[in-house]
Every structure is written in C-alpha cells, then in structure tokens.
C-alpha cells in the first residue's frame, strides 16, 4: 500500500489528538508532513517526534525558541506565526486535517485545497465565515472537502448514494450542553468554569462553552447550509440529550436515515481519514437494549437566541457569516475573561450584526482578504458593544 502524506493543523487540540491517535495506530500507512499548535510547544514537539513529522509550527512567534529547544537534535524543522502555518499547509500532502479552533483555521485550509489535498474539515468556522469561497476553491482545484463535525459527517454518510434533490429536511441534534437543565434565571450568573464541562463530549474549551450557549449549534446550522447547499428552512436543530443520534436526513418519500454512534469523534475523523473506504475504528459498539431509550425535545429559541441569529445570517448570506463568527469569538473571549455575562454574548453578537448590516464591506466580493477584514471589524465592533455594557454596569 502506498503511504499517504498527512498534515494536522491544530494537532495539540482535542480533534488533533484524536486524529494523531488514529494515524499512530497505522504508522506504516502514513508520512506525517506538518503539525501545528499554539502555546503548548512541549506537546507539539512531542507529537512531532512521535509521528516523525517534517515540520512543527507554533502559531506564536514568541514560542519559537522553546519549540526549537524541544526539537533539538530531532532533525524536525520548526517555524512560527500564521504565515508559517499557511506555508506548512502548502507543503504537498494527500490529506489535511483542519482542526485549528476559530477563524484562524480558514487560511491554512484554503492553502491545502489549493494544492489539491483532501481537506478533513473540523474547523466549522471556515464554512461559517467563507463557505462559498472554500467550496469554490475546492472545486476549482479538484480538491475534496470532507466534514468532520459529527453531525455533518453523519449527514454526509446518510447521503451516500442519494440524490441531494430528494432531501426534504436535515435534523441536526444537540446535546443541550452544560446548562440544558438549568433554569433560565440562573444562566445570567453562569461562570466560564461551569460552562466548560460538557455532559457527553470531551472537546476544547471554546466549543464546549459554545455548546452551552448553542452558538455551536448555530454555527452548525450555517455549516449545514454552506456545505450541503440546503435551504435554511429545511435545517432543524433538535435537542437529544443522549448524543447518540448525530443527525437525521429526511427524504421526499418520508423515509428518514439516522446516523447513530457513541459520542466519540474518532468515528467522524476516521471516516474522513479512510473515505471512500470504511475501515475498522476503535470506537465503542452500542448496546441498544442497555441504552433503553433515546429522547428528544425542541430547542427553546427564547433561551437560545443564537439559533435565531443563525437563521438571519443564512438569509443575509455573503460576509454576514464572518461578522457573526468574529463577534461570537470576541464575545466568547470576553465571557472567558469575566468581562461579559453568559447571557450577554448573544446580544453583543446581535448588536454587532445590526451595526454592520449596512457596511459597504459586506456587499463586496468574498476573498480571503475581505473575510479577514470583516472578521477584524466585527471583533472591533463587538469589543465596543462589550465596553458599553461594562460602563453601563459601573454607572
Ligand atoms: P482545541 O481548543 O482542543 O484545539 C485547538 C487547536 O487549535 C490547538 O492545537 C491550538 O493550539 C490551535 N489554535 C488555537 N488558536 C489558534 C490560532 N489563533 N492559530 C493557530 N492555531 C490555533 O479545539 P478542538 O475542540 O479540537 O476544536 C478544533 C476545531 O474542531 C474547532 O473548530 C471546533 O469547533 C471543531 N470541532 C471540534 C469537535 C470536538 O469534539 N472537539 C467536534 C466538532 C468540531
Ligand atoms: Mg458538532
């Protein structure tokens, strides 16, 4: 069997670690080209040594000396900064995992597509901020994008052999996150530590908090719309506390295909790694009799305004996804830093969307530059909205 060249961006994170776990189980099948990470350079260097990578890249310039020290004598190249991550993504590879968290994941993913690599996309922010650009770039370069988000992998799998024109609805399930059983009145005082513990999935801190606020599901509705080209009104979020059914696709004949599996990202990652084949994966096999039942409830859109905002963003299209995501990331930073209440994140995002609705930038073309500019402006505007709330509190 020919060895496949693979790169993992966001290698030190939750998705990155699971990806390297699978790759490490079949070391003769892969040549690891590039790995990237953030400040955790000891882990990055350890992963690079263990998987014999060609290059390890940290996102931060000030982390380069430490990374270099950790890699001394290994013969592994090292580099730092956003530009160096993109350059690493330009190194020829057959399969590239996009698992950086946030808008920073877009540029390396685009670079991977431009060199024709298959892009395994965990970084949902790429589709939210620049879906059209990403999918068109893939098409132009004959490259393939495979969804890694569990819900989207589930939909992708349910659609194998089907005609997308026969899809009537797509149901995207949500666990409900850390606060699903909290009274609404208590949410205003919810702390970052409380929001950072997920009932079912073991994920990075940012997506875990986004799960509690349903901003993660909001991003995923947009992701579904952008990836599968399905009309917004055909995409339904559904709370399913057990997180066993990841998504359901309903067809025009009334048939529904549900994708079921344990909440273990190695299924979706492994599916993308082996696609178009299916190979054995080290995930738990479900015992339905022991599970007993699956339950569902409708998400309360008053409790989760992020879902309504996602619909507005899908209707507006264009660069509004970059505004939504940039404002969300800024509001999330402020929540983590203790500068913003849990229930204030959605209003800050909404205020930013409103403030930027008429901006000339938004009616322009979608390019990597305009997406980055929009993202930046959204963070600035969201920062103003956050400061206005802080000074109101101090009055
Ligand atoms: P994580 O926080 O565990 O890891 C994030 C990775 O990105 C780390 O390697 C970190 O060093 C790197 N990183 C952070 N900021 C960066 C920046 N500015 N520039 C470059 N690198 C940076 O996150 P995660 O949970 O693994 O999630 C990664 C992506 O996958 C996110 O887009 C998330 O929404 C998506 N996702 C995650 C899961 C999951 O189960 N964890 C499921 C579905 C989708
Ligand atoms: Mg998901």
Kindly report the CATH number assigned to the domain that includes residue 337.
1.10.1740.10
* 172 and 115 in a common domain: no
Residues 6+ apart with CB under 8 A from 29: 1, 3, 4
Cα(13) to ligand 1 centroid in Å equals: 6
pLDDT at residue 354 above 90?
yes
Inform me whether the pLDDT recorded for 1 exceeds 80: no
pLDDT band at 201 (very low <50, low <70, confident <90, very high): confident
Residue 16 token pair: 């990155």
For ligand 1, residues with CB inside 6 Å are: 10-16, 36-38, 59, 85, 99-102, 104, 122-125, 149, 201, 203-204, 206-207, 265
Within-domain flag for 180: yes
Residue owning the nearest CA to atom 30 of ligand 1: 122
**Are 223 and 324 in a shared domain?**
yes
Residue owning the nearest CA to atom 20 of ligand 1: 59
DSSP H or E segment with residue 176: none
DSSP state string for 369-392: HHHHHHHHHHHHHHHHHHHHHHHH
Residue 283 forms part of a structural domain: no
Q: Is 365 among the domain residues?
A: yes
Tell the residue nearest (CA) to atom 4 of ligand 1.
13
What is the secondary structure of 242-270 as a DSSP string?
T--EEEEEEETTS-EEEEE--S-HHHHHH
Are 132 and 226 contacting, i.e. CB atoms less than 8 angstroms apart?
A: yes
Residue 284's contacts (CB-CB under 8 Å, 6 or more residues apart) are 262, 264
Q: What are the E-state strand segments in the chain?
A: 4-9, 30-37, 55-58, 77-80, 95-98, 118-121, 145-147, 167-174, 235-239, 245-251, 256-260
390 with 257, same domain: the answer is yes
Last residue of a domain, one of 93, 122, 147: 147
**Is the same domain home to 122 and 191?**
no
Q: Cα(105) to centroid of ligand 2, in Å?
A: 16
How many Å lie between the centroid of ligand 2 and the Cα of residue 27?
Answer: 28
Write the pLDDT tens digit of every residue in 265-315: 999 999 999 999 999 999 999 999 999 999 999 999 889 999 999 999 999
Residue 83 pLDDT: 98
List the residue whose alpha carbon is closest to atom 17 of ligand 1.
104
Question: Would you state the pLDDT for residue 301?
Answer: 86
Range of the domain at 160: 153-262+298-394
As a whole number of angstroms, the distance between CA 11 and CA 37 comes to 6
Mutate which of 8, 13, 220, 264 for ligand 1? The one with the most ligand atoms within 8 Å of its CB, which is 13
Question: pLDDT tens, 215-233?
Answer: 999 999 999 999 999 999 9
Kindly give the distance from the C-alpha atom of residue 124 to the centroid of ligand 2, in angstroms, as a whole number: 9
Distance (angstroms) between ligand 1 centre and the Cα of 10 equals: 6
Check whether residue 39 and residue 53 sit in a common domain.
Answer: yes
- Please tell me whether residues 106 and 209 are part of one structural domain: no
Q: What's the CA-to-centroid distance between 1 and ligand 2, angstroms?
A: 33
Closest residue by Cα to residue 15 from 145, 153, 120, 141: 120
How many A from CA of 335 to the centre of ligand 2?
21
Question: In terms of domains, do 224 and 358 share one?
Answer: yes
Q: Which pair of tokens denotes residue 345?
A: 């994140």
> Which has the closest alpha carbon to 342: 175, 196, 172?
196
Domain co-membership, 115 together with 166: no
Residue 123 CA, ligand 1 centroid: distance in Å = 7
Q: Within this chain, do residues 135 and 253 fall inside the same structural domain, yes or no? A: no
Q: Does residue 284 sit within a domain?
A: no
Answer whether residue 74 is part of any domain. Answer: yes
Q: Kindly state whether residue 280 falls inside one of the protein's structural domains.
A: no
Domain boundary among 88, 122, 147: 147
* pLDDT of 395 higher than 90: no
- Ligand 1: nearest atom to the Cα of 201: 40
20 falls within a domain = yes
Q: Which of 147, 175, 190 is the last residue of a domain?
A: 147
Percent of the chain with pLDDT over 90: 95
Number of domains in the chain: 2
Query: Does residue 162 sit in the same domain as residue 189?
Result: yes
Residue list, CB under 5 A from ion ligand 2: 149-151
Q: Specify the ligand 1 atom closest to the Cα of 15.
A: 26
Q: Is 289 among the domain residues?
A: no
Ligand 1 pocket mutation pick from 177, 207, 283 by most atoms within 8 angstroms of CB = 207
């Amino acid at each position: 069997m020919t060895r496949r060249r693979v790169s993992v961006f966001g290698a030190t994170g939750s998705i990155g670690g699971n990806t390297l776990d699978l790759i490490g189980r079949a070391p003769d099948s892969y040549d690891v080209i590039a790995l990237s990470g953030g400040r955790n350079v000891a882990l990055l260097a350890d992963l690079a040594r263990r998987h014999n990578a060609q290059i390890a890249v940290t996102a931060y310039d000030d982390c380069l000396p430490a990374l270099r020290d950790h890699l001394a004598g290994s013969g592994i190249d090292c580099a730092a900064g956003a530009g160096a991550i993109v350059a690493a993504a330009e190194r020829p590879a057959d399969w590239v995992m996009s698992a950086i968290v946030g808008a920073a994941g877009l540029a390396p993913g685009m670079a991977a597509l431009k060199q024709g690599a298959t892009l395994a996309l965990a970084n949902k922010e790429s589709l939210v901020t620049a879906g059209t650009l990403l999918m068109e770039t893939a098409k132009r370069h004959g490259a393939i994008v495979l969804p890694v988000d569990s819900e989207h992998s589930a939909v992708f799998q349910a659609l194998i052999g089907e005609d997308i024109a026969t899809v009537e609805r797509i149901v995207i399930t949500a666990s409900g996150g850390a606060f699903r059983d909290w009274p609404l009145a208590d949410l205003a005082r919810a702390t970052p530590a409380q929001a950072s513990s997920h009932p079912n999935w073991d994920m990075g801190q940012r997506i875990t908090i986004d799960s509690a606020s349903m901003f993660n599901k909001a991003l995923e509705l947009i992701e579904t719309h952008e990836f599968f080209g399905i009309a917004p009104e055909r995409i339904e979020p559904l709370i399913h506390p057990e997180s066993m059914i990841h998504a359901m696709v309903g067809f025009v004949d009334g048939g529904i295909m549900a994708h079921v599996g344990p909440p273990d990202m190695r299924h979706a990652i492994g599916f993308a790694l082996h696609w178009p084949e299916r190979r054995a994966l080290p995930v738990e096999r479900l015992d339905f009799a022991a599970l007993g039942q699956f339950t569902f409830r409708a998400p309360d859109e008053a409790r989760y305004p992020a879902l309504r905002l996602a619909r507005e963003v899908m209707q507006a299209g264009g660069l509004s996804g970059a505004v939504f995501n940039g404002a969300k990331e800024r509001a999330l930073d402020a929540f983590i830093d203790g500068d913003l209440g849990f229930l204030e994140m959605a209003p800050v995002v909404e205020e930013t969307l409103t403030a930027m609705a008429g901006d000339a930038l938004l009616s322009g073309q979608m390019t990597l530059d305009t997406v980055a500019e929009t993202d930046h402006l959204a963070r600035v505007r969201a920062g103003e909205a956050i400061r206005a709330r802080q000074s109101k509190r101090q009055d």
